[in-house]
Amino acid sequence: MTDATNPFTFWQQFWQTATPQMAAFMPPTNLQEVEKKISELRNIEVWLNFNLQALRTQLTMLEQQRSFFASASSMQMPIDDEEEKQEEKPVTQRTTTRKTTRSKK
């Protein structure tokens, strides 16, 4: 094929003159590179799935917290810490005396 009739001439020239910064975007040229790229992408997929699961867990927890606040406000329960602190009464310490009895022999 001559260059005029080859539809991939432009791409071949582009990849041949690519700079080292573009190496990440160049297609693999042998089986080892393909296997390495697949392995890297699988690792990225695992990492993304982990982060997605963490995000879903956080969303679920926040939705449960929202439900708690909605039900607490409908029952007119105090939710703020400041209100709870005002209602708390100081606890006095009690000292207990323990009587010991000795058995007589």
Task: Tokens for 1, please give them.
Answer: 């094929």
Which of 81 and 14 is assigned the larger pLDDT?
Answer: 14
Residues in the chain: 105
Distance (Å, whole) CA 52 – CA 22: 29
> What digits encode the pLDDT tens for the residues 10-41?
777 777 777 777 767 777 778 898 899 899 99
Q: Delimit the domains of the chain by residue range.
A: 49-78
Mean pLDDT of 50-59: 98
Residue 34 and residue 28 in contact, taking contact as beta carbons nearer than 8 Å: yes
Alpha helices in the chain, H assignment, sequence order: 9-16, 31-74, 81-87
> ∠78-92-77 over CA atoms, to 5°?
5
pTM (2 d.p.): 0.47
pLDDT attached to residue 82: 60
